Structure 1
Amino acid sequence: MLPPSRALFVPAGVAHTTAAASTAEMHSLYLLPGCCPALWAEPTVLAAAPMFAALVGHLSDPDLSGDARRRAEAVLFDVLVPAPVASVELTWPRDDRARHVADALAADPADDRDAATWAREVGASERTLSRLFVAETGVGLGRWRTRLRVRTALELLADGMPVAVVSRQVGYRTTSAFIAAFRREVGVTPSHCFLTA
């Protein structure tokens, strides 16, 4: 997920797709590999500083002369800076019982039912449900729910929603509790994640 403060460098020849969770504006620059300095061998998240954004807009001009394009590209390469990545991996369980819980939580991340309640709903013991989540997702139900909430929060924050509103929408009673959980999962606070470089 790329907020306006981030961009993605994709090396030539790397197959990829893009998608948007909501209305989005995307700008792509295609640069000839022979004209680029050696950058990164893998897709790399970049800080989209104001200078970078201005250069993307300038280079998008189809009437730009060859000399002007070469000068702008040279400056562009000077301002490409890798940025910290906020990512929350989320593996979905395969077992029908655990999948039912995961799907319900995805539909309403603020649902605060405990593991015992979920276990009764899906016809399993709390211990069985817990084992299923650990075996199939690598984490227990509580940690999985936290990751889901943080992942959902990333999408809402990228849309520009205020942190206090996001924290309530994903199930936290206080903004400080949300910020603490977010920092544990992502490594930075929500506001730091979306700072313009």
Structure 2
Amino acid sequence: MSSTGQPEAMLFGDYDLPSGTWLDWHVHDDHHQLAWAARGVVAVNVGSAHWVLPPARALWIPAGTVHRTGSSGNAVLRGIFMDAARSPVSWPELRLVRVRPLLRELLDHLTAGGLAEDARRRAEAVAFDLLEPVPVTPISVPLPVDPRARQVADALIATPADPRTLDDFGRAVGASERTLARLFLAETHLSFGRWRTQARLRASLPLLADGRSLATVAERVGYSSPSAFAAAFHRAVGVPPGRYFG
């Protein structure tokens, strides 16, 4: 709280996320949040959409959005919370935000505290001005409910490069190829081929965030070449892999 009784426009909280830690699903009713990895790589789930955030990216989460946050490696999540009634930025939907070096320095500066009221207000205003959205489509991987289709989905999430066809999976789970195709479309609203692409692309995000080469990522998630992976990523997300995190 400032000396005039007016709350700060931005409130900050750092949360250690040891490898494999996920916070429970939760919602901030009256505050927008900017989720940012001050260290390491953080992931955010909203419904079936999955976001991966290295320090060069943050996620704008509008007030009232149910979400959960975690990390597959040791990380520090910095939550920047903004009163929805006072925030000069009020995007109504999730936005991936580019964190350039100047914005990062400002967020660190504001987190340290101890600023005079006028200095803090000026720094907050600049930080709001520097929020730059990256126009991307979130990668969603809804899960089927039927246990046979769910076995297939779980197998591909565990090993996205698994080369088996839907007919191969059908023999393994006791269902015909046609039945599995119908179940995926009815329960995920995606064809099996489209669902598999989404699962592979979601698996690629932490690898890309970790700085792996396109060749390595493509091989790990089941693509025959870096160019095939890059083309699939661009079609689905709207930007090439290098621009998603670069």
Q: Does TM, normalized by the shorter one, top 0.5?
A: yes
- Judge conservation of contact 1:5–1:49 (CA < 8 Å) in 2: yes
What's the secondary structure of 2:59's corresponding residue? Answer: strand
Query: Equivalent of 2:114, from 63, 70, 90?
Result: 63
Query: Equivalent of 1:127, from 178, 186, 198?
Result: 178
For structure 2, the 5+ residue unaligned runs are 1-50
- Judge conservation of contact 1:86–1:193 (CA < 8 Å) in 2: no
Choose 4-13 or 81-90, whichever is displaced more: 4-13
Amino acid paired to 1:82: P
- Shift in CA distance, 107/11, structure 1 to aligned 2, threshold 3 Å: closer
- Shift in CA distance, 180/50, structure 1 to aligned 2, threshold 3 Å: same
What's the secondary structure of 2:219's corresponding residue? Answer: helix
- Shift in CA distance, 96/41, structure 1 to aligned 2, threshold 3 Å: closer
What's the secondary structure of 2:140's corresponding residue? Answer: coil
For residue 73 of structure 1, what is the aligned residue in structure 2?
124
Greater helix share, structure number: 1
Structure 2 residue 186 is matched with structure 1 residue 149 = no
Structure 2 residue 77 is matched with structure 1 residue 26 = yes
- Shift in CA distance, 100/13, structure 1 to aligned 2, threshold 3 Å: closer
Per-residue CA deviations over 1:132-189 (Å, capped at 9, x if unaligned) read 1111111222221111000110122123222221111001121111111111211211
For residue 18 of structure 2, what is the aligned residue in structure 1?
none
For residue 166 of structure 1, what is the aligned residue in structure 2?
217
For residue 190 of structure 1, what is the aligned residue in structure 2?
241
By how many angstroms is 1:123 displaced? 1.3
For structure 1, the 5+ residue unaligned runs are none
Tell me how many residue pairs correspond in the alignment: 195
TM-score with structure 2 length normalisation? 0.71
By how many angstroms is 1:26 displaced? 2.5
Higher relative contact order (CA 8 A, sep 6+): 1
For residue 114 of structure 1, what is the aligned residue in structure 2?
165
Identical columns (%): 49
By how many angstroms is 1:32 displaced? 5.1
Query: Equivalent of 2:227, from 169, 176, 192?
Result: 176
Per-residue CA deviations over 1:33-92 (Å, capped at 9, x if unaligned) read 576425334443322122111110111112222222112112112212222234111111
What's the secondary structure of 1:29's corresponding residue? Answer: strand
For residue 54 of structure 1, what is the aligned residue in structure 2?
105
TM-score with structure 1 length normalisation? 0.87
- Judge conservation of contact 1:47–1:81 (CA < 8 Å) in 2: yes
CA distance in 2: counterparts of 1:150 and 1:14, whole angstroms: 24
